[in-house]
Amino acid sequence: MQEYITYKNIQIAFTTEGKGESIVLLHGFLESSAIWRAITPILIKNHQVISIDLLGHGASQRLGYIHTMEEMAQTVHQVLLHLKVNKASFVGHSMGGYVALAFAELFPKKTEKLILLNSTSEADSVERKENRDRAKRLIKQNKDAFVSMAIKNLFAEETKEKFPEEIKQLLIEAKKIPVENIIATVEGLKNRKDRTEVLQNFKGKKMILAGKSDPVVPFMAIEKLAEQTNTELVSFSNGHMSYLENTEELINTLNNIF
């Protein structure tokens, strides 16, 4: 059942299921906590699983004109305080990974394990920042066109045809997000800082789960990053959407971790 807390006069939505040590699931850009549907039943056997709608996504409201990763991490912290959770492990998909790293930097003693799924600790490149500015212009002109293009571009070419229903569902959910929310998030993504040092210095268990054909986070760059930060790397065969494209492998990997 969805629950809510109030943070700076806005609503933050989350769900909790199961009992035991806490695992926090953080979705990516244009997604919501609903993406974890196939994963949650496996994890709740021995854990308390907390799925949070990040700022401006799902049933959580917008906060101002920029959703920084730090602000998102603070909302996660407020949920944990509300639930009286002192320490948690994090699985973050894409943007959710950026938020997990921001949380680990702000609250290192409250961070047990860091699992980055189709994500990176690196900041946007100059080229990527320019792409974000172009995206903002397109969002203002035609939000639905941007959302359709953005979602479809997350899948590996060879898997796009395999998931028509899932893509349709992602599009329905993403198109519900107001223009202002998307722009505030794009701004936060563009301006996020590099947290490679945070990953490198993190003392708990840390892993990157990466798609070999990820069109967003290039696998070669992730291989380098994992080596540089002494982070365990697990690779999947497909794109940026491992929770859909490689569900079974992801579940097996998470079972081994938790």
- The rounded mean pLDDT for the chain is 97
Whole-number pLDDT of residue 210: 98
* Tokens representing residue 149 in the block: 């293009």
Q: Give the list of residues 6+ apart from residue 44 with CB closer than 8 angstroms, or none.
A: 17, 18
3-state class percentages of the chain: helix first, strand second, coil last, to nearest 5: 50, 20, 30
Q: pLDDT class for 202, splitting at 50, 70, 90?
A: very high
Helices within the chain (DSSP H only): 40-43, 69-82, 95-106, 126-141, 143-152, 164-175, 179-190, 196-201, 219-229, 242-245, 247-257
User: What is the tens place of the pLDDT at every residue in 209-231?
Assistant: 999 999 999 999 999 999 999 99
Answer yes or no: is pLDDT of 159 > 90: no
More confident residue, 145 or 158: 145
Amino acid at 171: L
Four-residue CA torsion sign, 135, 139, 141, 147: positive
What's the DSSP call for residue 225?
A: H
Q: Please state the CATH superfamily assignment of the domain spanning residues 2-257 in this structure.
A: Alpha/Beta hydrolase fold, catalytic domain (3.40.50.1820)
Tokens, residue 72: 């998102």
Summarize the confidence of residues 50-55 as an average pLDDT. Answer: 99
Q: Are 109 and 87 in contact (CB under 8 A)?
A: yes
Does the reported pTM lie above 0.95?
yes
Reported as a pLDDT band with limits 50, 70 and 90, residue 254 is very high
Q: Which DSSP string corresponds to 55-66?
A: TTSTTPPP-SS-
**What percentage of the chain reaches a pLDDT higher than 70?**
100
pLDDT in tens, 78-87: 999 999 999 9
- Going by C-beta distance under 8 Å and a sequence separation of 6 or more, which residues neighbour residue 189? 29, 95, 98, 124, 132
